[in-house]
């Protein structure tokens, strides 16, 4: 990235993020992570979304700093494509989302845009068939939890159990991109809302704006009713997130279902209502690698992955979807350099 481009890019980013500061510079890998001898190249698949493409370049950049020959390759955006590439040995690493990865491995339909849209922004998806309904219930059933709903640890354990032979799950990042119900601060104060249990008693007073596929998901009307006795006055579907957010800010709907890594939440100071009963499918960022990946490389990836939280996903999304967007490689470099023009 040229100094002129970096300067203009950072100015644009400052306008986008307001008073938010640049991410702190991640720690330099420990010397123990540096390979003692030349290793085979490490090829990293870009993965299913724009976020995972940035993460792939983050992994590659940190691995190169540690002395590995690492690069990002296009192995297809579909899970079947890049998982097959991992099994064939065409790539050695990819970042994915835990819930959608597990559902894919068990032959179920993924949960909408967390595994399909580069920005974490809701996009239309086909209406689920009857066999695809009951997703949250099916998830718990597949995991052997009975009526108990699955949490992050349950899903990650499930992924480890069903991952194809020869592959392994590295330690997940704190970052997640899952569905959540959000409200404006005014609505949160008016009704004393901090989680979905608070929403239940006043749910009949609100209209809930959603993506087009929300009504066909078990975490939608059925899940909210069963888990929180929440039956909104109405469900209002939107094809575009911008329209949904405008409706929320204009009080045409009083709550909205968004993905947690959407910049719209931070930009509009929206309140994310906690989901203590795990109605929504967990979607942690998780690196998946070949079992032959050197231990020193695994250590590097896990160290950098541990530093990536949901705010970082928001930043990466913001950078790659700005009016003058950064490429995934440029966004990764910005993150790795701690936002400094070096």
Helix (H) or strand (E) holding 45: strand 42-45
Q: Which CATH architecture fits 27-170+282-306? A: 3-Layer(aba) Sandwich (3.40)
d(CA 106, CA 159): 9
d(CA 160, CA 146): 20
pLDDT the model gives residue 278: 87
pLDDT the model gives residue 40: 85
- Written as six digits, the tokens of 326 are 């950064």
269 class by beta-carbon count within 10 Å (0-12 exposed, 13-18 middle, 19+ buried)? exposed
Give yes or no on whether 27-170+282-306 and 180-273 have one common fold.
yes
Question: Can you list the residues of the chain whose pLDDT is less than 50?
Answer: 1-37, 113-137, 146, 340-342
pLDDT the model gives residue 73: 96
* Residues ≥6 apart with Cβ < 8 Å to 325: 319
- What number of residues does the chain have? 342
pTM for the full predicted model: 0.78
Tell me the three-class secondary structure of 132-174, residue by residue: HCCHHHHHHHHCCCCCCCCCHHHHHHHHHHHCCCCEEECCCCC
Helix (H) or strand (E) holding 287: strand 285-290
CA atoms in the 13 A half-sphere facing the CB of 34: 8
Domain coordinates in residue numbering, the chain? 27-170+282-306, 180-273
DSSP string, 181-205: EEE-HHHHHHHT-SBHHHHGGGGGG
pLDDT the model gives residue 151: 74
pLDDT the model gives residue 115: 38
Q: Which residue reads 């695809």 in tokens?
A: 132
Query: Which CATH fold would you assign to the domain 180-273?
Result: D-Maltodextrin-Binding Protein; domain 2 (3.40.190)
Q: Are 262 and 131 in contact (CB under 8 A)?
A: no
pLDDT the model gives residue 213: 87
């Amino acid at each position: 990235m040229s100094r002129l481009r970096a300067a203009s890019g950072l100015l644009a980013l400052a306008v986008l993020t307001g008073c938010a500061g640049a991410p702190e510079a991640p720690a330099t890998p420990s010397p123990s992570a540096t390979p003692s001898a030349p290793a085979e190249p490490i090829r990293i698949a870009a993965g299913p979304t724009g976020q995972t493409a940035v993460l792939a370049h983050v992994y590659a950049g940190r691995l190169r700093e540690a002395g590995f020959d690492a690069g990002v390759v296009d192995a297809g955006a579909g899970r079947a494509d890049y998982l097959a590439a991992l099994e064939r040995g065409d790539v050695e690493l990819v970042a994915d989302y835990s819930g959608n990865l597990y559902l894919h491995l068990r032959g179920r339909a993924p949960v909408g845009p967390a595994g399909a849209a580069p920005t974490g922004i809701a996009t239309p998806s086909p209406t689920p068939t009857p066999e695809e309904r009951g997703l949250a219930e099916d998830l718990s059933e597949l995991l052997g939890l009975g009526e108990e709903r699955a949490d992050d640890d349950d899903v990650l354990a499930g992924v480890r159990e069903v991952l194809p032979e020869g592959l392994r799950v590295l330690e997940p990042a704190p970052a997640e991109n899952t569905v959540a119900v959000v409200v404006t601060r005014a609505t949160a104060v008016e009704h004393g809302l901090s989680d979905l249990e608070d929403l239940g008693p006043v749910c009949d007073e609100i209209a809930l704006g959603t993506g087009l596929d929300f009504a066909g998901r078990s975490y939608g009307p059925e899940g909210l009713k069963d888990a929180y006795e929440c039956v909104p006055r109405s469900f209002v579907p939107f094809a575009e997130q911008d329209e949904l957010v405008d409706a929320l800010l204009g009080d045409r709907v009083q709550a909205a279902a968004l993905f947690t890594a959407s910049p719209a939440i931070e930009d509009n100071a929206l309140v994310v209502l906690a989901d203590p009963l795990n109605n929504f499918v967990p979607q942690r960022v998780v690196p998946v690698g070949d079992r032959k990946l050197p231990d020193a490389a695994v250590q590097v990836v896990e160290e950098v992955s541990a530093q990536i939280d949901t705010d970082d996903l928001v930043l990466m999304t913001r950078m790659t979807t700005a009016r003058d967007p950064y490429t995934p490689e440029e966004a990764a470099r910005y993150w790795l350099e701690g936002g400094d023009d070096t």
